[in-house]
């Protein structure tokens, strides 16, 4: 009982009860402060983690939600001949763009389109094709026409739309002076590709087309434009063939960027930030303009001569020739100083888009027949009756044939052969004849080349190579020499679409015999 009395006494003691209550409050406050400290520490750690560890990720997410970037195409580098004569060059131009801004209703946009068309008509080039208000609002891509009737679904609201390139100085002055009245218009510097009007080596140099066109092609050499990370403007002109394509990355330069702040509706709400593009590098070729023009002129004059009465006396079939190709190289260096493919065309036709009629007119002249197969520029009903640019080497192969014979020990330099004008071989008595069936009598290797004797090459080299027992497959021996002289293989130039040629002798062996 005494213990219980003491306990009751403590419970009834007000001073002790107050002390106990204060201890409980202090404990709870300490617990609260400790919990707050823990929570605050966790918050600080998380903030530090986001700030230092995930900074780039958060910044990118913030940018994607609050801004929109458009690319600025760089000024393309120029292409010169070996003496720095410009063959393809870029000229700067000022282009007019439209972009959506808050407060632009349909009435304002229609009035703006009409006013822009009036400016073009008043201050633009009087010799240029006029751009109507209907065309202006179509290029503005707003989703309706001048009557405010719906058209096609517009593209991204935040993407500027090109209305016109190549503004005149008077047009530029007017738009800059009235920019506060014509909200949504901006002038941007762009570049236009031009080619020498003398059409110098046009197939070798190549041409440009819009990225939106290039990226939709299936050709393997245009695969770079189909990559998901390719940063190009849809209407940016890119290399589509020739050196323009081969050196696309060198000539293009570095892309620029405009970053616009936008709201949740995708409308621009602030000042643009600009990262300026860097101009592309220039390209100096081994091509010599004067040699190139001489080669092109020589082909054109020879084609004209073949069609003349005098040419018909020499070769009647030559009167139907419509194309010619030539490559000139420096013997000491291997540099190509001319590469001609005739007929050619004016590649400036690609600038600003090409109509179906214009393409139909040049489609058989675009390919470089000096490095790939090209069909004759003739009507469809006649084209199949003419050879392509891929033809057998003919008598130009005779010096190489003699070299094979000498190197393989099939003939000697002084060995004689009696040329009767015909050589008979095989079980079926197949025949090889000289041109016109003419016999040249006693020949050695040198005189056989001089007279272009088909029978000497067949009897003394081809047939002996076939009959020799030291070769498992004489065609492989022949083919190895062809490839050493660059026949049946690409040159290694890297030019897009280059053909390795056609080792037709393997097909002949399958359809006839190895001896043939």
Tell me how far CA of residue 34 lies from CA of 41, 116, 339, 475, 491, in angstroms.
Answer: 10, 69, 84, 92, 79
- Within this chain, do residues 226 and 303 fall inside the same structural domain, yes or no? no
- Within this chain, do residues 152 and 295 fall inside the same structural domain, yes or no? no
Give the pLDDT mean for 206-229: 91
CA distance 7 to 2: 9
CA distance 208 to 340: 20
Domain edge (last residue) among 383, 413, 440 = 383
Q: Alpha helix locations (H) across 67-178?
A: 106-123, 133-140, 169-177
Helix axis angle for 106-123 and 169-177, nearest 10°, is 140
Instruction: Evaluate whether residue 273 is within a structural domain.
Output: yes
CA distance 237 to 225: 12
Q: What is the pLDDT of residues 257-290, one digit of tens each?
A: 888 888 776 777 778 889 999 999 999 999 999 9
Q: What is the pLDDT of residue 114?
A: 96
- Within this chain, do residues 191 and 273 fall inside the same structural domain, yes or no? yes
Name the token pair of 189: 């510097």
Domain range for 81 = 68-283
Q: What is the pLDDT of residue 8?
A: 45
Other C-beta atoms within 10 Å of 514: how many? 15
Q: Which of 75-79, 229-233, 395-399 has the lowest mean pLDDT?
A: 229-233
Is residue 160's pLDDT more than 90? Answer: no
CA distance 60 to 147: 41
Q: What is the pLDDT of residue 315?
A: 75
Q: What is the pLDDT of residue 1?
A: 46
CA distance 304 to 321: 9
For residue 64, the surrounding DSSP H or E stretch is: helix 55-66
Tell me how far CA of residue 393 lies from CA of 87, 106, 139, 488, 497, in angstroms.
Answer: 31, 67, 53, 11, 20
Average pLDDT, the chain: 87
Is residue 10's pLDDT more than 70? Answer: no
Share of the chain above pLDDT 70, in %: 92
Q: What is the pLDDT of residues 171-182, one digit of tens each?
A: 999 999 999 999
Instruction: Evaluate whether residue 11 is within a structural domain.
Output: no
Is residue 5's pLDDT more than 50? Answer: no
Find residue 162's DSSP bridge partners.
97
Q: Which residues contact 282 (CB under 8 A, 6 or more apart)?
A: 77, 78, 79, 80
Is this prediction's pTM over 0.85? Answer: no
CA distance 160 to 380: 43
- Within this chain, do residues 264 and 347 fall inside the same structural domain, yes or no? no
Instruction: Evaluate whether residue 484 is within a structural domain.
Output: yes
Q: What is the pLDDT of residue 65?
A: 52
- Within this chain, do residues 116 and 134 fall inside the same structural domain, yes or no? yes
Q: How many angstroms separate the first and last alpha carbons of the chain? A: 134
Is residue 25's pLDDT more than 60? Answer: yes
- Within this chain, do residues 245 and 123 fall inside the same structural domain, yes or no? yes
Is residue 449's pLDDT more than 50? Answer: yes
CA distance 200 to 447: 40
Instruction: Evaluate whether residue 350 is within a structural domain.
Output: yes
Q: What are phi and psi of 68, to 5 degrees?
A: -135, 135
What's the CATH code of the domain at 264? Answer: 3.90.1310.10
Within 13 A of 484's CA, how many CA atoms are on the CB side?
A: 10
Q: What is the pLDDT of residues 48-81, one digit of tens each?
A: 776 777 766 666 555 555 777 888 888 899 999 9
CA distance 127 to 63: 45
Find residue 259's DSSP bridge partners.
69, 273
- Report the candidate in 85, 141, 77 with the shortest Cα–Cα distance to residue 109: 141
- Within this chain, do residues 153 and 190 fall inside the same structural domain, yes or no? yes
CA distance 507 to 513: 9
- Within this chain, do residues 278 and 293 fall inside the same structural domain, yes or no? no
Going by pLDDT thresholds of 50, 70 and 90, the confidence category of residue 143 is: very high
Helix axis angle for 2-12 and 14-48, nearest 10°, is 70
Domain edge (last residue) among 283, 310, 334 = 283
- Within this chain, do residues 74 and 175 fall inside the same structural domain, yes or no? yes
Q: What is the pLDDT of residue 406?
A: 96
Tell me how far CA of residue 51 lies from CA of 48, 54, 171, in angstroms.
Answer: 5, 6, 49
- Within this chain, do residues 130 and 260 fall inside the same structural domain, yes or no? yes
Q: What is the pLDDT of residue 297?
A: 97
Name the token pair of 514: 């190895």
Is residue 442's pLDDT more than 70? Answer: yes
Instruction: Evaluate whether residue 46 is within a structural domain.
Output: no
Q: What is the pLDDT of residue 57?
A: 65
Q: What is the pLDDT of residue 147?
A: 94
Is residue 2's pLDDT more than 60? Answer: no
* 129-164 core/surface letters (b: 16 or more CB in 10 A; e: else): eebebebbbbbbbbbbebeeeeeeeeeebbbbbbbb
Domain edge (last residue) among 261, 283, 305 = 283
Q: What is the pLDDT of residue 516?
A: 56
Q: What is the pLDDT of residue 301?
A: 95
Selected residue with higher pLDDT from 56 and 212: 212
Give the pLDDT mean for 28-42: 77
Is residue 484's pLDDT more than 70? Answer: yes
Q: In the chain, what's the furthest Cα-to-Cα distance?
A: 154
Q: What is the pLDDT of residue 6?
A: 46
- Within this chain, do residues 182 and 317 fall inside the same structural domain, yes or no? no
For residue 477, the surrounding DSSP H or E stretch is: helix 474-484
Work out how many domains the chain is built from and give that number: 3
Is residue 499's pLDDT more than 80? Answer: yes
User: How far does CA 239 lie from the centroid of its chain?
Assistant: 3
Is residue 348's pLDDT more than 50? Answer: yes
- Within this chain, do residues 95 and 169 fall inside the same structural domain, yes or no? yes
Is residue 447's pLDDT more than 90? Answer: yes
CA distance 39 to 282: 61
Is there a contact between 248 and 240 (Cβ–Cβ < 8 Å)?
A: no
């Amino acid at each position: 009982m005494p213990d219980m009395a003491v306990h009751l006494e403590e419970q009834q003691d007000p001073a002790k009860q107050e002390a106990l209550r204060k201890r409980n409050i202090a404990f709870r406050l300490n617990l609260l402060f400790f919990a707050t400290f823990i929570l605050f520490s966790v918050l600080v750690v998380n903030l530090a983690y986001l700030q230092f560890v995930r900074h780039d990720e958060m910044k990118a997410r913030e940018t994607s939600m609050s801004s929109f970037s458009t690319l600025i195409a760089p000024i393309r580098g120029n292409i010169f001949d070996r003496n720095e004569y410009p063959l393809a060059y870029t000229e700067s131009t000022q282009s007019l763009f439209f972009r959506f801004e808050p407060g632009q209703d349909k009435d304002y946009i229609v009035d703006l389109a009409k006013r822009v068309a009036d400016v073009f008509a008043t201050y633009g080039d009087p010799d240029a094709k006029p751009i109507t208000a209907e065309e202006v609002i179509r290029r503005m891509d707003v989703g309706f026409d001048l009557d405010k009737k719906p058209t096609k679904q517009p593209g991204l609201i935040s993407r500027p739309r090109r209305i016109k390139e190549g503004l005149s100085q008077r047009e530029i002055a007017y738009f800059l002076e009235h920019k506060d009245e014509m909200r949504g218009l901006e002038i941007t510097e762009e570049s236009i590709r031009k080619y020498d009007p003398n059409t110098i080596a046009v197939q070798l140099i190549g041409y440009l087309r819009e990225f939106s066109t290039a990226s939709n092609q299936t050709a393997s050499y245009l695969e770079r434009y189909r990559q998901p990370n390719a940063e190009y403007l849809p209407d940016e002109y890119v290399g589509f063939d020739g050196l323009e394509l081969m050196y696309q990355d060198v000539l293009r330069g570095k892309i620029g960027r405009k970053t616009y702040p936008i709201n949740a509706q995708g409308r621009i709400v602030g000042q643009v930030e600009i990262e300026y593009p860097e101009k592309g590098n220039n390209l100096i070729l081994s091509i010599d303009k004067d040699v190139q023009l001489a080669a092109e002129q020589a082909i054109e004059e020879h084609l004209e001569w073949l069609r003349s009465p005098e040419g018909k006396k020499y070769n009647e079939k030559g009167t139907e020739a419509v194309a010619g190709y030539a490559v000139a190289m420096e013997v000491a260096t291997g540099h190509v100083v001319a590469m001609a493919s005739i007929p050619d065309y004016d590649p400036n036709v690609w600038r600003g888009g090409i109509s179906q009629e214009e393409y139909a007119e040049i489609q058989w002249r675009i390919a470089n027949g000096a490095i790939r197969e090209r069909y004759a520029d003739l009507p469809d009903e006649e084209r199949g009756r003419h050879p392509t640019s891929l033809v057998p080497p003919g008598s130009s192969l005779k010096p190489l044939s003699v070299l094979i014979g000498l190197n393989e020990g099939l003939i000697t330099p002084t060995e004689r052969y009696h040329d009767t004008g015909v050589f008979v071989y095989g079980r079926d008595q197949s025949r090889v004849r000289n041109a016109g069936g003419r016999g040249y009598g006693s020949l050695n290797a040198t005189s056989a080349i001089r007279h272009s004797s088909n029978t000497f090459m067949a009897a003394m080299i081809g047939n002996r190579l076939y009959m020799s027992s030291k070769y498992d497959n004489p065609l492989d021996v022949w083919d190895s020499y062809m490839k050493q002289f660059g026949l049946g293989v690409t040159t290694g130039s890297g030019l897009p679409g280059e053909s390795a040629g056609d080792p037709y002798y393997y097909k002949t062996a399958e359809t006839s015999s190895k001896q043939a």
